[in-house]
Structure 1
Amino acid sequence: MDPSTGKYRYISKTVQGGPRIADRALAELVSSTKQGQSAATIEMIVNEFLTRGESSGIGLRALASYRMLAKNHIIPRLGLKRVDLLTVQDLDRLYQQMVSDGVGVSTIGHCHALIRSTLSQAVKWGWVDRNVAKLASPPASGRSVVIAPSSEELGQILSLASKRSPQLANVFALAALTGARRGEVLALRWSDYDSVAKVLTISKSVGYTSGAGVFVKSTKTDSVRSFGVDEVLEGVIVSQIEALQKSVDAGFILVADPYLFFGEPDGSKPLHPDTPTKFFRIICDSLGLPYHLHQLRHFTATQLIAAGVDVRTVANRLGHADASVTMKVYAHVLEAQDRAASEYLGSRVFIPKPIDRA
């Protein structure tokens, strides 16, 4: 039975000769059916994988990204290829062609990840014997150097933003002070701030897709993390609480646990994720600065590393599941710190010059 269609496939071969020749022909037929287990195409298995994706734990935003990659890159180039005939060479040629077509290395990497995941699932379903994508060689991405605004530039951004939208200026300030992702900042509720213990807890994230709209989910690594709140961060949080209280003065009734960064006056809905992203770009364009919202996260990391905070603490603050991720992303900053450490030690160690006995 073909797993992709649910229908039996019949093959036959007419041979001339005795039982020994017939047995040899039968063995060849059995071998051929094992090598070609399914007549399914790449388009069919990718679509099947994406159809089942939501129920298998793939996030809505990731699923939307996968669908875009499949539609724009994988299916047009590889969709008609039978999955049982797909080879490592087919994938390597695909990636080389994408490079020639000007597709970015990062996008090719994401396509490879989707193909690899799809084929892994196809193996589990019994559609193919092995995952050839595990042996393919997508182009390696060079190490990128993260760019972050300086403290002075961040001050300019917050100053101009506060004149145009105090709430969005607070979004930017809290992101820079915590290193939290955009969705994590927007998912914060009043109850996430413990004013007695001076602790802010992040446990959720806000996402958006055109199909699902705005939704709340777990954080990227499914982690819950807390931050100590100093006077500056407390000022940002209190400012938002006071803004919500002004809604009450205006006649609105707040929900039981309102969002700190609210899209409705009663605090029932968070800000749309695209709102701070677009506004940040407008502010930076006005100032002639080349930054986007995610670089506030880089600001947090680079400032902490430059201040000598250990990498594990920085990783925990950023919500990285493993400190090695932090070390990889901010390797150039750590290298600069290492050079500074060498220079400091060089200034503290006196090595006497050899005595000239001539």
Structure 2
Amino acid sequence: MALGMSMLKAMSAARDQNRKRGNIEERGGALRVRLYAGTDPVTGKQVYYRDTIQGTNKAAWKKAENKLAEFQAKVAKQRSAQSSVNLAYALSEWMRTNELANSTRKTYEGYIDRTIVPALGETPVNKLSARILEGLYTELRRCRNRCNGKPFVVHKRSGEHDCEAAGCKPHECKPMETSTVRQIHAIISGTLDAAERWEWIDTNPARVARKPKQKRPEPDPPSPAEAARLSEEAFRMDDDWGTLVWLAMTTGARRGELVGLRFSHVDLEQEVIALRRNWVLGEEKDTKAHQIRRIAVDSETVTLLREHRERVRLRVESLGRKFTADLFVFTGTKTPDHVQPYPPNAVTQRYKDMADRLNLDTNLHALRHYSATELLTAGVDLPTVSGRLGHGGGGATTLRVYAAWVAASDRKAAEILGSRLPKRHGEPS
């Protein structure tokens, strides 16, 4: 019995050794080169390097032997690379040494803890490849939980329990958004860039790995009639909320810019608002484009802001506090003294609830699209619209996002110009 087990082990070892050496097989007038390259850390499947050399003559065999030697050298390099540091450690070092805003750091930590480390954390950085990374991205685009495709139940409680009473449900595959996968790629790529600088790896495989293509922007702004209904409902709810929604429509400011707005940023005499700061995840930071932009506002908006300022002043003073220009323009019900901004997520949820009551399928960010498309439709030039939105790239971003409206505006300009030219000789006037 012991001899039999020894023989089995010897035979298994021999097979493993042959598999690691690789082989060349003659098949259908061609030579197939095959070499075992390890196990895929994402799928758990065995990985082989393969190639086919046409012909079976002496020259073809020489090419096949050279290809096998190339594969063997590649695998040997992977197995005896400079460092055995795994990706989890590299990620922690990159996060420790990288200067990130608090909100960005929290976002990255979430992606690392929930997705990257469970998938590839134990993989040595010198064994990562473009193929492995692309495999992860494909898995995430299929199912964010990277399930094996077999049905299973998501249990709400541990131990023995009644699934129906606990609300346990069958797992449903939900693909991860393209933008999220691209951000995960950026985290991995940044980490491997650092690993390359630190001489843990020779090259960064994420540099050549294909990430999901960015989805083409598809703005879906509310119509003027829908915008009017939303504005009317907002003011019916309360004047502060109505002013916030109105300002979102007329300025096209981002959510974080609106809630981060202070009275010192509003010049009612010059009729200008300076968007200086952005409020994200409880942190005040620079605007998305890292620039201060000044937006002119119309007389109706100035009137609303004057009334709002006076309303806030009386409210703050009724609480025994002093009104100062450093107070936030908009705030939630929990901080009526305006020393804290309106929580961004609360603004989004309140707007969604309002739109649902009106049976409108829209969201707060669509008001930014509404502002942009209304300006373009009215014939306002692209640089002006781009400047109001805070887009970089000299209008390239605005053109990419709102191409259809820019084209319509251009057609309108052509028709206007054509109508002003004198008629050709012989044509009726």
TM-score, scaled to structure 2: 0.68
Secondary structure, aligned partner of 2:115: helix
Asked if 1:126 is matched to 2:199, the reply is yes
CA contact (8 A) 2:178 2:215 kept: no
Q: Which residue of 2 aligns with 1:299?
A: 370
Residues 250-329 of structure 1: matches in 2 within 5 Å? 250-256=318-324, 257-263=326-332, 264-322=335-393, 323-329=395-401
Report deviation, 1:147.
Answer: 0.6
- CA offsets 1:148-176 (integer angstroms, 9 cap, x no match): 11221111112112222321221111111
CA contact (8 A) 2:259 2:342 kept: yes
Report deviation, 1:345.
Answer: 6.5
Q: Which residue of 2 aligns with 1:97?
A: 139
Q: Which residue of 1 aligns with 2:122?
A: 80
1:39 corresponds, among 51, 68, 84, to 84
TM-score, scaled to structure 1: 0.80
Matched letter for residue 232 of structure 1: E
Between 297-306 and 322-331, report the one with greater CA deviation: 322-331
CA contact (8 A) 2:271 2:299 kept: no
Which one has a bigger Cα radius of gyration? 2
Counterparts of 2:105 and 2:403, CA distance in 1:
30
Matched letter for residue 288 of structure 1: N
CA contact (8 A) 1:199 1:229 kept: yes
- CA offsets 1:133-153 (integer angstroms, 9 cap, x no match): 110111213413111112211
Counterparts of 2:97 and 2:249, CA distance in 1:
37
Matched letter for residue 288 of structure 2: K
Asked if 1:331 is matched to 2:403, the reply is yes
2:275 corresponds, among 192, 197, 202, to 202
Matched letter for residue 254 of structure 1: K
Give unmatched runs, 5+ long, in structure 1.
1-27, 209-213, 354-358
2:309 corresponds, among 221, 224, 241, to 241
Matched letter for residue 262 of structure 2: R
Report deviation, 1:71.
Answer: 2.6
CA RMSD of aligned residues (A): 2.6
Counterparts of 1:137 and 1:345, CA distance in 2:
46
Say if 1:351 and 1:109 are closer, same or farther in 2 by CA, change over 3 A. Answer: farther
Between 263-272 and 300-309, report the one with greater CA deviation: 263-272
Report deviation, 1:336.
Answer: 3.2
Indicate the structure with greater strand content. 2
Asked if 1:229 is matched to 2:297, the reply is yes
Higher RCO (C-alpha 8 Å, min separation 6) = 1
Counterparts of 2:346 and 2:176, CA distance in 1:
28
Counterparts of 1:236 and 1:125, CA distance in 2:
57
- CA offsets 1:200-256 (integer angstroms, 9 cap, x no match): 111111121xxxxx2211111210011123212212321320221221452431353
Share of identical aligned residues, percent? 31
Secondary structure, aligned partner of 2:133: helix
In the alignment of these two chains, the number of paired residues is: 316
Report deviation, 1:343.
Answer: 5.8
